[in-house]
Amino acid sequence: MDDSYRRIPLWSNVSPEDWEDWHWQLRNRIYTVDQLRQVIDLTPDEEEACAKKQGRLVMAIPPYWAALMDPKDPNCPIRRQGVPRMEEFNIQPHDMRDPCGEDTDMPVPGLVHRYPDRVLFLVTEQCAMYCRHCTRRRLVGENHGLMSAYEGTFEYLRKHTEVRDVLISGGDPLMMTDVRLGQVLARLREIPHLEFIRIGSRTPVTMPQRVTPEFCAVLKKYKPIWMSLHFCHPKEVSPRVKQAMDMLADSGVPLGSQTVLLSGVNDNPETMKKLMHELLKVRVRPYYIYQCDMAQGITHFRTAVDKGLEIMQSLRGHTSGYAVPTYVVDGPGGGGKIPLSPNYVV
* DSSP assignment letter at 5: G
Report in angstroms how near the CB of residue 223 gets to ligand PLP at its nearest: 19
Report in angstroms how near the CB of residue 228 gets to ligand PLP at its nearest: 7
The active-site residue out of 73, 97, 115, 220 is 115
Cα distance between residue 10 and residue 104, in whole Å: 45
Residue 46 is a binding residue for ligand SF4 (CB under 6 A): no
Cα distance between residue 19 and residue 6, in whole Å: 10
Q: Is 114 a catalytic residue?
A: yes
Query: Which of 167, 185, 253, 329 lies at the binding interface for ligand PLP (CB under 6 A)?
Result: 167
Residue 112 is a binding residue for ligand PLP (CB under 6 A): yes
Q: Which residues pair with 285 in a beta bridge?
A: 256
- Find, among 129, 147, 289, the residue nearest to 205 by Cα: 129
Looking at beta carbons only, is 11 or 121 nearer to ligand PLP? Answer: 121
Report in angstroms how near the CB of residue 200 gets to ligand SF4 at its nearest: 8
Binding partner selected for residue 140 from ligand SF4, ligand PLP, none, CB under the kind-specific 5 to 8 Å limit: ligand SF4
Q: Which stretch binds ligand SF4 (CB under 6 A): 71-79, 134-142, 213-221, 248-256?
A: 134-142
Looking at beta carbons only, is 209 or 309 nearer to ligand SF4? Answer: 209
Q: Is 134 a catalytic residue?
A: yes
Binding partner selected for residue 337 from ligand PLP, ligand SF4, none, CB under the kind-specific 5 to 8 Å limit: ligand PLP
Q: Is 293 a catalytic residue?
A: yes
Binding mask 115-134 for ligand PLP (x = CB under 6 A): x--x-x--------------
Looking at beta carbons only, is 61 or 108 nearer to ligand SF4? Answer: 61
Report in angstroms how near the CB of residue 7 gets to ligand SF4 at its nearest: 27
Report in angstroms how near the CB of residue 62 gets to ligand SF4 at its nearest: 11
Cα distance between residue 293 and residue 313, in whole Å: 21
The 3-state DSSP class for residue 338 equals: strand
- Find, among 232, 166, 159, 178, the residue nearest to 202 by Cα: 232
- Find, among 278, 279, 298, 302, the residue nearest to 290 by Cα: 302
Residue 107 is a binding residue for ligand PLP (CB under 6 A): no
Residue 337 is a binding residue for ligand PLP (CB under 6 A): yes
Q: Is 180 a catalytic residue?
A: no
- Amino acid symbol at 290: Y
Looking at beta carbons only, is 252 or 264 nearer to ligand SF4? Answer: 264
Q: Is 138 a catalytic residue?
A: no
Residue 114 is a binding residue for ligand PLP (CB under 6 A): yes
Cα distance between residue 45 and residue 90, in whole Å: 13
Is the Cα dihedral 264, 280, 330, 169 positive or negative? negative
Which residues, 198 to 257, sit near ligand SF4 by CB under 6 A? 202, 230
Cα distance between residue 128 and residue 117, in whole Å: 30
Residue 29 is a binding residue for ligand SF4 (CB under 6 A): no
Q: Give start and end residues of each alpha helix (H) in the chain.
A: 16-19, 22-27, 33-37, 44-51, 63-68, 77-82, 151-159, 178-189, 203-206, 213-221, 239-250, 269-281, 305-315
Number of residues engaging ligand PLP in binding (CB under 6 A): 7
Q: Is 100 a catalytic residue?
A: no
Query: Which of 39, 49, 112, 127 lies at the binding interface for ligand SF4 (CB under 6 A)?
Result: 127
Looking at beta carbons only, is 173 or 308 nearer to ligand SF4? Answer: 173
- C-alpha torsion angle, residues 107, 124, 36, 73 (rounded to 10): -60
The 3-state DSSP class for residue 227 equals: strand
The string of DSSP codes covering 96-128 is: BSSTT--GGG-SBTTEEEEETTEEEEEEES--S
For 113, list phi and psi in degrees, rounded to 5. Answer: -120, 95
**Residues with catalytic roles:** 114-115, 118, 127, 131, 134, 136, 293, 330, 337
Binding site for ligand SF4 (CB under 6 A): 127, 130-131, 134, 136, 140, 171-172, 202, 230
